[in-house]
Amino acid sequence: MSKETCQSIFFKGVRDAAPFLLVVGPFSVLFGVVATEAGLTIIETVSFSLAVIAGAAQFAALQLMVEDAPTVIALISALAVNLRMAMYSAALTPHLGAAPLWHRALAAYFIVDQSYGLSSLRFEQYPDWSLSQRLAYFWGTVAPICPFWALFTYVGAVIGEELPPWLALDFALPICFLAIIMPMLRTRAHVAAAIVSVFAALIFSFLPYNLGLLVAGLLGMITGAEVERRSDLTQESR
Amino acid sequence: METTTIWTVIILLGLGSYAMRFLFIGIVGDRPLPPWLLRHLRYTAVAILPGLVTPLVVWPEATGGQPDPARLGAALVTVLVGWITKNVLAAIFCGAATLYFLLYLTT
């Protein structure tokens, strides 16, 4: 077991996650602005961020509501975008699954791109961390992100007025996601999964309800797993 | 937009999102998962995020879904800087700088 205290590991999580506030902040401000402009009240807008805590899904749902799509379609699409949360949950389970139920139920609410991404990276890096050290790290990554997601949504909703279009804040999300992805590409299997996902997302974009994203995700996962299995086999035969 | 519709979406989307987050960590718990499943789960993030971001880069909504040189250029720089430095903030900074520079040139 690592000798680091839970407190120092918690702050390691805070330090790792804090830079993401630079991208989460503007993004949630943007959601606040866009949502109020679409006709939501401040309370509705902030409730949205508190209930869902997932930018892409919130924007997807909002977009479809603005287009007057059936409520069912808006829900299915946004949940499809959010299906990755189930995958994050599954990926964290081997690391945090031994925690008490109440703790898991609470942590589940705070599974977001950043807490999952950073936690799974560090848990692989420090396999000797105990359960409480892992939980400390997880909550460390949550602390500088999730409260501000709601807070900055509120700021955006209050601003309410149009941000100058030259800011092109629409592109904050793609740039952030791209920047998050690149350090993840540690092995050939990761690169293969990402490349397949990119092309599958384009090829299957004709599918309705964001199903193209699910197809891309599944194909990417299968590719990554298969490349890993084959390179393991090659290593064993040497 | 009707208030009822808005609250229906907020509440059901919130519950649905929570259910997906809770599914494995809450219900499956620490029962060991089969190796083939873990092998697939290792690639969830690198499989989903590129698929999520690619259409946003190629067909940005801000330009009505038309490919846009400024956004494509910014994405390319972000990927290159991220690949070389493995530094998230450096990649974001260079990507944003490229975006504003190209938007300034093209408008």
> Tokens 């910014």 sit at which residue?
B74
Q: Is residue B27 part of a domain?
A: no
Q: Which of A141, A171, A229 to mutate to test the interface with B (most CBs of B within 10 A)?
A: A171
- Indicate the pLDDT class of residue A96, thresholds 50, 70 and 90: very high
Q: Is residue A70 part of a domain?
A: yes
Domain end marker among A115, A131, A165: A165
The percentage of chain A sitting over the pLDDT mark of 90, rounded to a whole number, equals 46
The CA distance from B8 to the nearest CA of chain A, in Å, is 8
CA proximity to A115, closest of A136, A141, A135, A137: A141
Q: Considering only the beta carbons, identify the residue of A50, A89, A202 that sits closest to B54.
A: A202
Mean pLDDT of A60-79: 76
- Name the residue range of residue A209's domain: 185-238
Q: Alpha-carbon distance A83 to A229, whole Å?
A: 25
Same domain, residue pair A155 and A238: no
Q: Alpha-carbon distance A188 to A194, whole Å?
A: 10
Whether residue B89 contacts residue A185, with contact meaning beta carbons closer than 8 Å, is answered with no
Query: What pLDDT, in 10s, does the model give residues A77-87?
Result: 777 677 778 87
Higher pLDDT, B56 or A137: A137
Residues of A in contact with B16 (CB under 8 A): 75, 79, 82
pLDDT of residue A43: 94
Q: Is residue B84 part of a domain?
A: yes
Q: Is residue A174 part of a domain?
A: no
Q: Which of B39, B49, B80 to mutate to test the interface with A (most CBs of A within 10 A)?
A: B49
CA distances from A59 to A88, A95, A162, B45 (A): 20, 31, 17, 20
Range with the largest mean pLDDT of A29-43, A73-87, B78-92: B78-92
pLDDT averaged over chain A?
A: 86
Q: Alpha-carbon distance A81 to A58, whole Å?
A: 9
- Name the residue range of residue B45's domain: 32-106
Higher pLDDT, A29 or A11: A11
Q: Is residue B36 part of a domain?
A: yes
Q: Which two tokens stand for residue A194?
A: 């990402």
Please report which helix (H) or strand (E) contains residue A67, including its range. Answer: none
pLDDT averaged over chain B?
A: 87
Do A89 and B22 count as a contact with CB atoms less than 8 A apart?
yes
pLDDT of residue A4: 84
Same domain, residue pair A103 and A43: yes
Q: Alpha-carbon distance A140 to A216, whole Å?
A: 31
pLDDT of A167 higher than 80: no
Q: Is residue A200 part of a domain?
A: yes
Q: Alpha-carbon distance A130 to A109, whole Å?
A: 22
Q: Is residue B53 part of a domain?
A: yes
> Tokens 């991220």 sit at which residue?
B82
Query: Which residue stretches of A18-70 are H helix?
Result: 21-37, 42-52, 55-66
Q: Is residue B2 part of a domain?
A: no
Q: What is the pTM of this model?
A: 0.67
Mean pLDDT of B89-101: 90
pLDDT of A58 higher than 70: yes
Mean pLDDT of A70-97: 81
Same domain, residue pair A159 and A191: no
Q: Alpha-carbon distance B60 to A59, whole Å?
A: 14
Based on the structure, what is the number of domains in chain A?
2
Q: Is residue A37 part of a domain?
A: yes
Same domain, residue pair A191 and A98: no
Same domain, residue pair A16 and A118: yes
Mean pLDDT of A119-123: 91
Whether residue A52 contacts residue A75, with contact meaning beta carbons closer than 8 Å, is answered with no
Lowest mean pLDDT across A2-11, A70-79, A156-165: A156-165
Phi and psi at A67, nearest 5°, equal -80, 5
Is A152 in a helix, a strand, or coil? helix
Same domain, residue pair A53 and A159: yes
Query: What pLDDT, in 10s, does the model give residues A140-161?
Result: 999 999 999 999 999 999 887 5
Q: Is residue A176 part of a domain?
A: no
Q: What ipTM was assigned to the predicted interfaces of this complex? A: 0.79
Q: Is residue A97 part of a domain?
A: yes
Q: Alpha-carbon distance A144 to A202, whole Å?
A: 34
